[in-house]
Amino acid sequence: MKKILLLLLIAFPILASAQVITYDTIRVSPDDERNIYRTQRQQQTTQTQQADQNRIAQRPILLEREPASGLVLDKSKLLYGVNIGLSFSRNYSSFNLGPQVGYQFSNRFMAGAGIKYYYNKVRAFQYNEEYLYKNNLLGTNLFGYFYPMRFLTVFAQPEINHLWLSLTNEDTGEVTKSSGFVPSFLVGGGLRMGRSHLTLNYDLAQHTNSPYPRGWFLGFSAFF
């Protein structure tokens, strides 16, 4: 009898421990209410979602740019040129400066605008009297080059100029001054050499005080 009691006393703690281990390692579904980690995962998921919402709410609002409307200017197609002329002598002196800005709309067409300044001084003789003419001219123009072929160009340039004219009789010292607008309309054609042009031009307006020669004359322009 004593041996039986002794065996029971020894076996009871072992059976009790086995019961605890078996209960703690029962496999259950992740969504089962008995899963002690289910609540912890739900709390962690809720906290993560709340943190993400807070970060999104704190981000600055970026306004979308409205697409540009109208003509978009491509600066790489802008071309710059200048016309410069200089000539000095006792009886004839001339200086001209004309900056130009063009835009290459396509491979066949380039157009633009510019301003110019002309100064001319001419000493002439008439009826044994000596006269000195001085012209100051300031104007603006539009121009266009059309390229029917790669090496050929057709040219047109309407312009309006304002002229200040001074006529001095060097024998008597008498000075006569006048001023007014001088229109010109150049047309021409010739060769295209890269961004330079060599053309034969003609002024259709043929105004008396035009800064251009009578008849046909050569013209040269270069753009960069």
Contact (Cβ atoms closer than 8 angstroms) between residue 150 and residue 191 = no
User: Strand 216-222 and strand 196-203: pairing?
Assistant: antiparallel
pLDDT at 78: 96
What's the rounded Cα separation, in Å, for the pair 177 and 156?
32
CB contact at 8 A, 84 and 101? no
Question: What are the C-alpha distances in Å from 164 to residues 75, 136, 161, 205?
Answer: 37, 5, 10, 19
Question: Is the separation of the CB atoms in 38 and 46 below 8 Å?
Answer: no
Mean pLDDT, residues 141-160 taken together: 96
Helix (H, G, I), strand (E, B) or coil at 173: coil
CA distance 213 to 200: 12
Give the pLDDT mean for 58-78.
Answer: 67
Give percent above pLDDT 70 in the chain.
68
66 against 164, higher pLDDT: 164
Sequence-ordered list of residues with C-beta below 8 angstroms from that of 84, at least 6 positions apart, any chain: 96, 97, 98
Report residue 118's pLDDT band, with 50, 70 and 90 as the boundaries. very high
pLDDT at 54: 66
Residue type for position 150:
R
| Rounded distance between C-alpha atoms, residue 86 and residue 96, angstroms | 7
Q: Which of 13-22, 131-140, 212-221 has the lowest mean pLDDT?
A: 13-22
Reading the block at residue 156, the tokens are 């047109």
What's the whole-model pTM score?
0.64
Q: What is the pLDDT of residue 128?
A: 79
Q: Which two tokens stand for residue 86?
A: 């200089």
Would the pLDDT of 106 be above 90? Answer: yes
Domains for the chain: give ranges and CATH numbers: 2-58 (no CATH), 75-222 (2.40.160)
Buried b (16+ CB within 10 A) or exposed e, 164-176: ebeebeeeeeeee
Provide the pLDDT for residue 212.
85
Q: Which helix (H) or strand (E) holds 188?
A: strand 175-193
pLDDT band per the 50, 70, 90 thresholds, residue 38: low
Residues paired with 87 in a beta bridge: 94
